Amino acid sequence: NFPKLSSLKVHLLSHNGIRPYKCSYENCDWAFYTWYKLKRHIETHLKRRDYVCSESNCNRRFTTVYNLNTHLRLHQRPKCWMCSLPECTQAFHTRRELEVHMKTHKDVEAPYKCGVDGCSKSYFTPNSLTSHMRSHHKEEELRCQWTGCG
């Protein structure tokens, strides 16, 4: 059920593939079911970024409120990657964000070290070390990092 006849008409357009609202910008083939979506699309051509993320330390800017709202949903995801230092309460959405953060603790040494002779790489998460081993030392065997262990 649709609240208005216009809503039903737009819905029917989606079934027959007709997109009557075409972008008039050169080399742009986008077309839309509604005038509103075309208008929103045209804002991306104007390069104006009037919509600013309100999250602290983000400052990302967007051409449309729709794009801003899509971005804001990223901030609402759970932060599963926690800083391992007892005095730090930071948490992050991705392992990469955590690793970038860990570099801000300048006096902290990355505990997960590559055991391959001649490689001095070290990482803040075991997953990062595993990724390094797979991509850079495929042929090398994994060795225990414990001092005195073979």
Cβ–Cβ contacts within 10 Å for residue 17, how many? Answer: 7
Closest C-alpha to 61, from 73, 48, 78 = 48
What digits encode the pLDDT tens for the residues 37-86?
898 888 888 878 888 998 888 889 988 888 899 999 888 888 888 888 88
Which of 7-16, 23-32, 76-85: highest mean pLDDT?
23-32
Q: What is the pLDDT of residue 24?
A: 94
The pLDDT value given to residue 29:
93
Specify the pLDDT at position 139.
56
Question: If pLDDT is split at 50, 70 and 90, which confidence band does 148 have?
Answer: low
- Phi, psi (deg, nearest 5) at residue 42: -60, -35
What is residue 27's predicted lDDT score, i.e. its pLDDT?
Answer: 92
pTM of the model: 0.37
* Residue 143 confidence (pLDDT): 53
Note the Cα 22 to chain centre separation in Å: 30
Class of domain 81-136: alpha beta
CATH topology of 1-45 equal to that of 81-136? Answer: yes
Q: pLDDT band for 149, please (50, 70, 90 cuts).
A: low
Domain ranges of the chain: 1-45, 49-76, 81-136
Q: Which of 67, 98, 62, 65 is nearest to 83 (CA)?
A: 98
Tallying the residues shown for the chain, one arrives at 150
Query: What are the distances in angstroms from CA 90 to CA 6, 46, 53, 131?
Result: 49, 37, 20, 23
3-state helix/strand/coil string of 40-54: HHHHHHCCCCCEECC
Q: Where does 1-45 sit in CATH, by number?
A: 3.30.160.60
In order of 119, 129, 130, 142, 144, the CA distances from 135 in angstroms are: 13, 10, 9, 13, 18
Each residue's pLDDT tens digit, 78-121: 888 888 888 888 888 888 888 888 888 877 778 888 888 888 88
